[in-house]
Structure 1
């Protein structure tokens, strides 16, 4: 194979949606180096994709988004490699936790993994982005009460309250914290887009993506055993029925993976930025997600929390 002309980095790329997205990109773009980053790789995902495509351009890298120190270690190790510029950064990994839990950084785990770790990863990887690059963030329709997904309403008062729940908010269900973290994904995308508009020298785009409900993915790995069984073994066989009974926004990981890959490398969405997609369709996100004050609170808190010093804070803010 000829030398790679660009890099695509997909977090959570070893299973489910991320795996299918990476596979689709590998099939379309054999000239790209594709890195699938996740905290585990028990099924040898990169080997699997390379065997399917008969290429050798997919590589696994270990990444633990629950630890800011480990995200920094990932970035430091990346800097030592000679990968070509990043053409697409797909911030896809996510987790839904039923019980209230905190990371080693004393940040509520759902918020930490679904938002904070990804934001730090973006800031640290930004020097390696190509002049023309795409940032795609996997969000969820659960952020929008109007979509009637069955999850509790996403509630955003401040980033600080999400990171360190109060006596009242620590009683919220894990599904509520998940929905709110997905709201944060979209708000952060819009805040990033505003900054990209101020930097015409950067030809970067940023979009958020709702893959729909995807039975069988790793989202449920922290659920109770009986719910994991239903999720992995019963619901994937009933997608056609679930679309009729519940919502048309229900897909297999492969279907949604193709849609996510489109935002990362598809020619028909080149140059599109600051948008929210449900599968293949561009749709409005929730009214709460469009509140600029909330977007800026999230952005400012995140930069302050993850920057190691004043120099780095200024660097992150200048993106």
Structure 2
């Protein structure tokens, strides 16, 4: 029986994806989240409801120490035969932090640490524990693309410079909260594409996929925004307005189902290096931003991220 590890799988979009996977059966699930009590409660409920094995994993993607400990725990579960090698690794957890800049336990800007570095480290620690033809799915966002209304509303993504992004706010004028978020999602997509290039270079059959679930206001992504702003975003009028403006709209139910399918369905067996988007009740394969395909920038982002998380450099030949 294969296994699936999902970060942030106990709430919002992640919970809907996890539920869809559990409902299908035949897969062991590992839920990674920072609140052990919340994750354990969801794991128990899903296991009892659908008769599948669901394990809780302490994992705060903002903390590299937590990521390292979680990766080791997963490797021990695989080594001991408690779970099968991973069929899929769903890098779903994410956040947008409004207000003054915050920093991770390692001193990195919190948006970049949470949305990028934690997942980057997790992928690299667990890559050898993913079975052939397994899948790695990066949850991205249309906000990364300044040519779209999604990107225009949030703030234009900056250059994917890992060293600057990790140390944002320590010198000079910082990026806005929206720019920090959109840039982190640009980096996420570039990780997915660069990982695919590296996997193909080593003859691996593992897939690396970027997924945009669309704007889902119910996920409370901007949970650090002022309460009035959070309320306004949930009104029917606001949803109608942003859709009319051309924003890519998703939903918890449909986008969660697509994320689950990306993990396990044969339909997506050729989706590596593709950008799959949930848009108004349909999934579509789209082009991501022009910058996201820049392999030179992606290689530098990758090697700089390796340095930031303390991994050995794996410079690729051009």
TM more than 0.5: yes
**Alpha-carbon contact 2:22-2:52 (below 8 Å) kept:** no
Render the CA deviation track for 1:69-109: whole Å, top value 9, x for unaligned. Answer: 11111122223322111000000100000131111111100
**Alpha-carbon contact 2:155-2:182 (below 8 Å) kept:** yes
**Alpha-carbon contact 1:151-1:175 (below 8 Å) kept:** yes
Which of 227, 230, 236 aligns to 2:229? It is 227
Q: How far 1:293 moved relative to its partner?
A: 1.6
Aligned position for 1:33:
28
SS at match of 1:106: coil
Render the CA deviation track for 1:263-292: whole Å, top value 9, x for unaligned. Answer: 111111113210111121111000011111
Distance in 1 separating the partners of 2:156 and 2:308: 26
2:74 counterpart of 1:78: yes
Question: Cα gap change, 1:23/1:206 in structure 2, threshold over 3 Å: closer, same or farther?
Answer: same
Distance in 2 separating the partners of 1:157 and 1:199: 25
Mapping for residues 87-98 of structure 1, pairs under 5 Å: 87-98=87-98
Distance in 1 separating the partners of 2:259 and 2:238: 19
Distance in 1 separating the partners of 2:111 and 2:146: 19
**Alpha-carbon contact 2:4-2:29 (below 8 Å) kept:** yes
SS at match of 1:209: strand
Distance in 2 separating the partners of 1:129 and 1:61: 17
Distance in 2 separating the partners of 1:224 and 1:63: 27
Aligned position for 2:167:
164
**Alpha-carbon contact 1:97-1:110 (below 8 Å) kept:** yes
Distance in 2 separating the partners of 1:35 and 1:289: 30
**Alpha-carbon contact 1:210-1:278 (below 8 Å) kept:** yes
SS at match of 2:134: strand
Which of 14, 17, 27 aligns to 1:18? It is 14
Render the CA deviation track for 1:222-277: whole Å, top value 9, x for unaligned. Answer: 2222223334xx33x56873465233621221111011112111111113210111
Distance in 2 separating the partners of 1:238 and 1:136: 32
TM-score (norm. length: structure 2): 0.89
Aligned position for 1:142:
143
Q: How far 1:183 moved relative to its partner?
A: 0.2
Distance in 2 separating the partners of 1:248 and 1:151: 11
* Equivalent residue pairs, number: 302
Render the CA deviation track for 1:2-46: whole Å, top value 9, x for unaligned. Answer: xxx111001110111111111111122x11111111112537222
**Alpha-carbon contact 2:160-2:187 (below 8 Å) kept:** no
Distance in 2 separating the partners of 1:144 and 1:248: 12
**Alpha-carbon contact 2:19-2:46 (below 8 Å) kept:** yes
**Alpha-carbon contact 1:239-1:251 (below 8 Å) kept:** no
SS at match of 2:123: helix
2:216 counterpart of 1:217: no
Distance in 2 separating the partners of 1:247 and 1:48: 38
Aligned position for 1:155:
158
Aligned position for 1:261:
260
SS at match of 1:203: coil
SS at match of 1:42: helix
2:312 counterpart of 1:313: yes
TM-score (norm. length: structure 1): 0.89
Question: Cα gap change, 1:226/1:248 in structure 2, threshold over 3 Å: closer, same or farther?
Answer: closer
2:43 counterpart of 1:46: yes
Distance in 2 separating the partners of 1:178 and 1:77: 29
Aligned position for 1:286:
289
**Aligned residues: CA RMSD:** 2.0
Aligned position for 2:245:
246
Render the CA deviation track for 1:149-176: whole Å, top value 9, x for unaligned. Answer: 2111101152111111263341x21111
**Alpha-carbon contact 1:111-1:177 (below 8 Å) kept:** yes
